[in-house]
Structure 1
Amino acid sequence: MEQKLFTEFPEITKNDWIAQVTKDLKGKNFDDTLVWHSLDNFDIQPYYAKEDLSDLPLSAIQAAQKNKKTGSWQNRPSVKYTNERETNSLIINYLQRGADAVNIDFLNKDINQVDLVKLLNNIKLSDTPIFFTTLQGTELLTNLAKFVHYLPKGGLQVDVIANSFSKTSSEGDKLTWECTKKVMIETEQFPNFQALIVSSHVFHNAGANAVQELAFTIAAAVENLDKLTDLGLSAEQVINKLEFSVSVGTNYFVEIAKLRALRYLWSKILESYDCHSLIINCQIHCQTSSFYDSTLSPYTNMLRATTEAMSAVMGGCDALTVLAYDTVIGEQNSELGERIARNVSILMREEAHLDKTIDPSAGSYYIENLTNQLSVAAWKLFQQVEGLGGISAAFEKGFIKDEINRSFEAKVRNLQDGKVMVGVNKFRVEPENESKVVKNSTESAIYLENRRLSEVFE
């Protein structure tokens, strides 16, 4: 005989729970005591129940997460280019020790001065995805074509809009929509080679909250679509070559919901371009945040990176770059820092088995509600940006920077008012050598600054 457990207990609704808690508070206000008023400007309840799912577009949110065929992700560390021999050795070392792909950051190096044959010696691009961060995409493809006669995997890490907002290099003047269109056409024959990225890093590192990061990233993706289709490409051509690259911060559940909301919002955008089915090709690369890193107690950065990486995986990232704990204190990361960063993905996959489930957050009363709240707030802000003429027009009018500055100032006030950030405003270690601290803020009246929250206290 089948017996159901707990049948002797009456069913408790959320309203019953609230009534009991209100009684237990003995006169204290429920909202003021238990409701979390987040820096993203919405309220998070202390308790969620099944009835909280009834008014959500739950099936649409969950459907947007199902583009992945596996719960796994690409372990993609980044290497700063120095010279052909040394960088090649590093890449091979990474690939032999757990990396699935590698991103090569050429910084401001002239790609025509790089011997790609030596750089990629013993690396077969049809088997190993290699990504290239350079503003000289057309030159790179021309040089690769001289010796790569098969279908390469990987892609170009080029973001026209983010570069124009940060203006980190004069080389950006050479990057135009025409160049991007040319790269898109030249890589069309390579189905596993991405042509451009839409990144949130420029917003995140300036101090944006999760809502702003989502809204501005989606707006940037729309501008990419509009600019390139105006130049004659089809929406499908652009969508299939686009990868999102997102910074993941320390607010564990919010960051999980942020990635899920990004897929959902992107599915809504694709509907308006009659390309809804292409949500299956949505690729999201995640990178742990440098914005929250400390130089005074750098080992605490390991813990932050671990929770950030787990948020990325639980949120459904397709690729993950974990920054070394000592990235913020020197030009060259230590071997220890790089190894630990690389092993975070390996531990989550091989020991925690987080690759066994697609969209593990599906059905969570809390995370589903958080995903919807982020989506609604971000969509509203996105529409504001579109009403100003799009992301570039809104940036030129000062709207983007003003919004982000308000968010950054709120985060600073939060720490100044007593919110603890370990190793920054409490439990900190004073530096023995001040010269090791690298200040990366680039003050500008126009462009978005590359900030770290802890700099205010260092």
Structure 2
Amino acid sequence: MTIESMKKTKFSQRTYAEWQLAAEEGLKGKPFEELKTLTTEGIILEPLYTKNMLDRLSAALPVQAEAVRNGKQKPGWLVAQEIAADSPADFLAKAKDDVARGNDMIVYASFKKMDWQDHELKELASLITEHPIYFKLTQENRDILRVFEWVESARMENVRGVIFSEEPVDAPVNVRTERIDLLPVHNSGGTIIHELGVALSMLAEKMDAEDFAGTAGRLWVRFAVDTHFFQEIAKLRAFRILWSAFCSAYGQEAPAIPIFTETSVRSYSKLDPYVNLLRAGNATFSAVLGGTDAHTVLPHDFLTNPDPISRRIARNIQLVIKEETHVSHTLDASAGSYFIETLTKEYVDAAWQYFLEIEGAGGYSVVMKSGWLTDDIQVKWLQREKEVSTRKASLIGTNIYANPLEPIKDQEIEYSHLEYATAKRLAAPFEKLRAKSKETLLKTAVLHLGPLKDVKRQSDFVTGFLAVGGIEPLISPELQSADSINRFLAEHDIDYAVLCGPKEKVAEMVPALSTRAAVDIAGKYPAEQLDAWKPYGVWDSIYSGKPITDKLEQILNLGKKAF
């Protein structure tokens, strides 16, 4: 086929009904509804989005596009990687090196209390007139604020950026000091609707109707971005649209508010930590497509104290995206996507209703003090935990595809990152199981009641299931009788075993079992059948969808404490 003939080739038009029919045939009898996904927020994700679906939003689309573009104003984003230093001199040296290697901001995160000398502040003052600042201050570590005294009056307007502080701060006019911080909502298990609704309620408490523009000029917003790729893109876009609607309620034009984002620790794990690189890359790409103004990538070993190499890799994630995708040259890269535009609108509608619900309950401060918001968030967090426990949601290297031989780091996050140390993380229960397995003497086995080709699927599933708890079982050869099973268990002094084989073979062998080991069976069996087999040592069954953390806890409890 020549280039000319390829240009003339036309594809036949297909309808949604035809596609649905083909999809149903591929499902082989399963209902089409199984292709739809219900999010934690209660929003249905369709398997396919079409122009006809988008046309239903035709009135909303121009409003969405204008709000996103007016809020973003210019393409690109700032790389805002934290700088870890032991002294002011060390900080200055690393800050200069980082901006030379791609960092766009001077990020000071109060890792350790520092006493700044005048000559050091003068050197820092020169830096912050050239690069935006992102200062995260603790109450006892505010000495760095004296830097503004060393900035020349003529260059004071060049000082831009944001300051994170619990206490009021006097800063140059172009430095924003009032934050709308959604990390606490996210880290306590909140959904996207929680984050957006709470953001509006916090804004309602902060805004001064008499000086609307002045108040808005001091505001900045911080979001954590998780690994739900398209949903996180829609979240950031939805915030800008909600902010525009919020301003309209005050009869005001919507001034731009900078959005600062960072990768979420909610899906980070201490287990197989290099997978955190994939999570960070996914979340970062979501953030930049969603229109973040500044972004921080938490290093892959953030939970166990990062080193210079991991910090460099974290910074390079953003640089690679900038250089390879060219997304930094677009204002709203996801505009016009049938899926994202629809999802954005759904988040806008749901978040606005949730905002009204919070306001009806008394506003953000009231629902926080009463526990109303905490309880509402907890319901959704328990739902997330259940999805991970049953492996409906995957944490690669943690609740699936785990390496039981992997060494475990148990260092804790530094005190300066207390907000992350107290964050709810989906991997935490699995980390506890893996730590417990290292302290437990437990002999386990997977028993094959047939040729490997017949039992391999079950055997691999059980081995993977046990690996999540750090358990590496002994794999038996084919065992053709109950006597051979009893001998194998006795010879190897097995504490716990799982039978893998066809149901008729299992039913034949179980009544002749005689062992001290606790025995489970691979596959889903009726409760009545398992009860009937209990006298023979059968304990339970293992199958896809079984709550894995509870089951692994029970298995590890069979072992003895290692000395």
TM score, norm. by length of structure 1: 0.83
Matching of residues 233-382 of structure 1 within 5 Å: 234-278=211-255, 281-330=256-305, 333-382=306-355
Q: CA deviation at 1:385?
A: 0.8
- CA gap of 1:250–1:95, structure 2 versus 1, over 3 A, is same
Cα distance in 1 between the residues matched to 2:237 and 2:310 = 29
Task: Deviation per CA, 1:200-252: give whole Å up to 9, x if none.
Answer: 11111111111112211222222222xxx28xx61111111211111000011
Matching of residues 391-430 of structure 1 within 5 Å: 391-418=364-391, 419-430=393-404
Aligned to 2:47: 46
1:315 alignment partner AA: G
Aligned to 1:201: 183
Any idea what SS the aligned residue of 2:86 has? coil
**Structure 1: gaps of 5 or more residues:** 161-174
Identity %: 27
Task: Deviation per CA, 1:2-22: give whole Å up to 9, x if none.
Answer: xx967783x444345335544
Aligned to 2:83: 79
Aligned to 1:106: 110
Aligned to 2:202: 220
**Structure 2: gaps of 5 or more residues:** 1-6, 432-563
Cα distance in 2 between the residues matched to 1:336 and 1:24 = 47
Q: Is 2:77–2:292's contact at 8 Å kept on the other side of the alignment?
A: yes
Q: CA deviation at 1:372?
A: 1.1
Structure 1 residue 61 corresponds to structure 2 residue 38: no
- CA gap of 1:117–1:388, structure 2 versus 1, over 3 A, is farther
2:120 alignment partner AA: K
Q: Is 1:81–1:105's contact at 8 Å kept on the other side of the alignment?
A: no
Any idea what SS the aligned residue of 1:146 has? helix
For this pair of structures, how many residues does the alignment match?
415
Q: Which of the numbers 334, 339, 359 marks the counterpart of 1:386?
A: 359
Q: CA deviation at 1:323?
A: 1.0
Q: Is 1:290–1:452's contact at 8 Å kept on the other side of the alignment?
A: yes
Q: CA deviation at 1:144?
A: 3.0
Q: CA deviation at 1:80?
A: 4.3
Cα distance in 2 between the residues matched to 1:439 and 1:206 = 19
Q: CA deviation at 1:297?
A: 1.1
- CA gap of 1:410–1:159, structure 2 versus 1, over 3 A, is farther
Structure 1 residue 70 corresponds to structure 2 residue 74: yes
Q: CA deviation at 1:70?
A: 3.2
Q: Is 1:325–1:341's contact at 8 Å kept on the other side of the alignment?
A: yes
Q: CA deviation at 1:395?
A: 0.7
Deviates more, 1:304-313 or 1:17-26: 17-26
Aligned to 1:168: none
Cα distance in 1 between the residues matched to 2:77 and 2:138 = 26
Higher relative contact order (CA 8 A, sep 6+): 1
Larger radius of gyration: 2
Any idea what SS the aligned residue of 1:66 has? helix
Q: Is 1:250–1:308's contact at 8 Å kept on the other side of the alignment?
A: yes
2:173 alignment partner AA: F
Cα distance in 2 between the residues matched to 1:375 and 1:12 = 31
Deviates more, 1:351-360 or 1:263-272: 351-360
- CA gap of 1:237–1:139, structure 2 versus 1, over 3 A, is farther
Q: Is 1:287–1:322's contact at 8 Å kept on the other side of the alignment?
A: yes
2:381 alignment partner AA: F
Deviates more, 1:448-457 or 1:236-245: 448-457
Aligned to 1:432: 407
Any idea what SS the aligned residue of 1:295 has? coil
Cα distance in 2 between the residues matched to 1:12 and 1:356 = 34
- CA gap of 1:376–1:87, structure 2 versus 1, over 3 A, is same
Q: Is 2:223–2:259's contact at 8 Å kept on the other side of the alignment?
A: yes
Q: Is 2:234–2:340's contact at 8 Å kept on the other side of the alignment?
A: yes
Any idea what SS the aligned residue of 1:393 has? helix
Structure 1 residue 453 corresponds to structure 2 residue 426: yes
Aligned to 2:16: 14
* Cα-Cα RMSD: 3.0
Q: CA deviation at 1:102?
A: 2.4
TM score, norm. by length of structure 2: 0.68
2:39 alignment partner AA: S
Task: Deviation per CA, 1:288-341: give whole Å up to 9, x if none.
Answer: 1111111011111111100110000111111111111111112xx211111111
Structure 1 residue 211 corresponds to structure 2 residue 193: yes
Q: Is 2:162–2:220's contact at 8 Å kept on the other side of the alignment?
A: no
1:18 alignment partner AA: Q
Q: Is 1:65–1:264's contact at 8 Å kept on the other side of the alignment?
A: yes
1:269 alignment partner AA: F
Any idea what SS the aligned residue of 2:164 has? coil
Q: Is 2:276–2:300's contact at 8 Å kept on the other side of the alignment?
A: yes
Q: Is 1:87–1:119's contact at 8 Å kept on the other side of the alignment?
A: no
Q: Which of the numbers 141, 148, 157 marks the counterpart of 2:151?
A: 148
